[in-house]
Amino acid sequence: MDIISYFDMQVYRQSSRKKLQARRESRRIRHEHAWIVARKAASLLREHFAASRIVVFDSLLHPQSLPFSSFTISLPGLRPLPVCWGMTNHGDNA
């Protein structure tokens, strides 16, 4: 059985702290970016469909899950949209 020296353990701990800090910073940046995307989507929904109330769910409210999931936008009171609208407005005209 190998014994880890005090110095090696200090190096390991320092490296581990740096990795944790980098993961937290990456998660923070993803969370900020997700809110930017959600706000843009909300703006488009207000402009094109007169959405008056927009509600967000999932990762925007629970940022610890962001790297592995998506967020959901709910539009209470908005009538259903034709399925083809979503495809044609994203460049999928094939």
Distance between alpha carbon 24 and the CA centroid of its chain, in Å? Answer: 14
Phi, psi of 73 (to 5 degrees): -115, 130
Closest among 79, 42, 85 to 60, alpha carbons compared: 42
Model confidence at 86: pLDDT above 70: no
For residue 27, the model assigns a pLDDT of 85
pLDDT tens digits, one per residue of 7-42: 999 999 999 999 999 999 988 888 888 888 889 988
Domain ranges (residues) in the chain? 6-88
Average per-residue pLDDT for the chain: 78
Cα 23 from Cα 18, distance rounded (Å)? 9
Model confidence at 6: pLDDT above 50: yes
pLDDT tens digits, one per residue of 37-52: 889 988 988 888 888 8
Question: Does residue 55 come out as left (phi exceeding 0), alpha (psi in the -120 to 50 range) or beta?
Answer: beta
